Structure 1
């Protein structure tokens, strides 16, 4: 009898130990606020909008210790609109992320719907991720600094961190019968964060972007995907993106800068997706639309609970010619951001933000460029737009 009791206790202890080596965590973010946006159809727009400072989400993440320093890991993450209750990411159940993989001392390999190397290594140094939110992303989120696009059916490797340095890459399987590379996306990146210095760099290459990368938009709103800043370039054969960033912290202040170079290459190689608008005759076959973006940002912790962000962004796109020989003037976008964020607790904060955007030249549709702040449906009626917001964010 005593031996049976001892055996039972031993089994219970082992079961408890096995349970302790595995974990599953439920987490989430809820963000909501009131916006005022100027110059939309001749008037101002007042609206409740969610997923601005950070995207609304709830998710499950977990790990199981397999022994020998290896773990099985997974993550399932949903996005949603707080005001309607609708799913984001085109109505997908786990549209933000859904992956499973293995982690060890040599790094982590995961499989599924994931973020690319731009987000993992370079985007954390841009204003949108530092407190500017989705509105503070570079115009149109052209360089995916605010996670508007995802990589489906992807394989990702992330290295361990070596004295502040880490690296990794992703490969998203495209492929259709007879064309293995159709819709594929691949990216590489590296970052260094040690002491006051932070650096990041990444490269991304997406084949047939109109039906691949840009069709995975984080929002289910077609106006978000088809921003006039670049909707007219969805006939490209290849989208290429290079992203660099760096920052230096001194006391309570951090000064940073980013540079991105984005190219829509071999225009006219593919049919335009439904909803995308370009010049009536399309662009000269084989031409390339190139965007250069430079941003400077400044983050200052006024108190441990109060944080100020200021940012200035400049985008330039080259001039082009349509199939009829008409010249499409180059475009310029200037954007100025400011936000003030106050933490009520470790999990809840309130914030205010203001943003002004100015557009000059011709946009991708071939018409006069209009201001188009990222992820708002209230596209400006002209080349100027101002946005102000007050919001609250809660994490659990």
Structure 2
């Protein structure tokens, strides 16, 4: 009897130790609110919309201690629409993230699956939409993907540890076809932090994005532009002093042989077929934390586009300004209000690029101006 009790005690201790070395966490977030758009095809729109400052989601993430400072890690994250219960990200079960890999405090982490690229991991940290502002604060058509219009499938990602404030990483996403370069993607980025200072830069290239269903970027609600090549690069800086954070970012997006956008459909300029579309985004942003529970943020973006067609180069431009106030009712629940304004000027292209469109609005305006207002609640669990 004593031996049986001793054996049971040892098994209990071992089980307890194994449990302490491994963990699985269920988590989620619901973002739901009322939107008003002053002009959608010439009409006002009042609607209930889900997931704007942060996409509504639930997920599972876990870690297992493998010994010697090495851990096995995974994460599965689902995106959904609160109003309809539908899946987001083109109807994928775990469309936000799905990966498994190994992590070491000394060597960094390597993960495999559907993941964020280096523009999202590094450059987005210096933008309003990539930190506190979300969807409505995106640059026109989310042209630089700092608001996660697409993730990358079939990807291998490396993320380094932090060395004296410096971190770097990169992704390579396979085409998963016999044509190795058809719908592949690669990116890399780096950041430096020192006290309240953050510097970040990144680069991304996707060859023939969305050209097949098996590749790095998936057609059907999980992309930003259609074209033969997508290149994005940029850099930014933020600085926090006491309750104030200010930032500046620059990004440059080039779409070769662009044919359309997932946000506004076909892009066909007057005078001939489109050969190239480029966006340069200049953003200044700031946030002030009045109390631990309340902050106000503001953002202004000037975007200069270059549209190359048979008739030459045209340069429409976009000015977007946004304001946000957020109040925490508790550690997990907050209320927020957002207001966005966009004006389109510069050259007339004879295409959808001539009218205003704020990402997150119901559709394009009938004029060069558009306003979106949002009042919402967000709950984390």
TM-score, normalised relative to structure 1: 0.89
In structure 1, what is the Cα distance between the partners aligned to 2:75 and 2:350? 39
Per mean C-alpha deviation after superposition, the further-off stretch among 168-177 and 80-89 is 168-177
Change beyond 3 A, Cα 1:20–1:101: same
CA RMSD of superposed structures (Å): 2.3
Paired residue total: 376
Give 2:305's aligned residue. 317
Give 1:48's aligned residue. 48
Give 1:195's aligned residue. 195
Asked if 1:278 is matched to 2:268, the reply is yes
Q: Deviations over 1:342-366 (max 9, x none)?
A: 1111111101010000112467773
Give 1:339's aligned residue. 324
In structure 2, what is the Cα distance between the partners aligned to 1:278 and 1:39? 22
Picking from 252, 255, 277, the partner of 2:246 is: 255
Q: CA deviation at 1:243?
A: 1.6
Change beyond 3 A, Cα 1:155–1:213: closer
Give 1:373's aligned residue. 358
Give 1:118's aligned residue. 119
Contact (CA 8 Å) 1:277, 1:365: kept in 2 or not?
Answer: no
In structure 1, what is the Cα distance between the partners aligned to 2:270 and 2:181? 29
Q: CA deviation at 1:132?
A: 1.6
For structure 1, which runs of at least 5 residues remain unmatched after alignment?
none
For structure 2, which runs of at least 5 residues remain unmatched after alignment?
none
Q: Give the secondary-structure state (helix, strand or coil) at the position aligned to 1:10.
A: helix
Q: CA deviation at 1:124?
A: 1.4
Of Structure 1 and Structure 2, the greater strand share is in: 2
Give 2:170's aligned residue. 169
Structure 1 residues 1-396: aligned runs within 5 Å? 1-104=1-104, 105-177=106-178, 179-211=179-211, 215=218, 219=221, 234=226, 236-265=227-256, 267=257, 276-279=266-269, 283=273, 287-322=275-310, 326-327=311-312, 329-361=314-346, 366=351, 369-396=354-381
In structure 1, what is the Cα distance between the partners aligned to 2:307 and 2:82? 41
Q: CA deviation at 1:194?
A: 2.2
Contact (CA 8 Å) 1:89, 1:216: kept in 2 or not?
Answer: no
Q: Give the secondary-structure state (helix, strand or coil) at the position aligned to 1:20.
A: helix
TM-score, normalised relative to structure 2: 0.93
In structure 2, what is the Cα distance between the partners aligned to 1:14 and 1:214? 44
Per mean C-alpha deviation after superposition, the further-off stretch among 205-214 and 142-151 is 205-214
Q: Give the secondary-structure state (helix, strand or coil) at the position aligned to 1:171.
A: strand
Q: CA deviation at 1:34?
A: 0.4
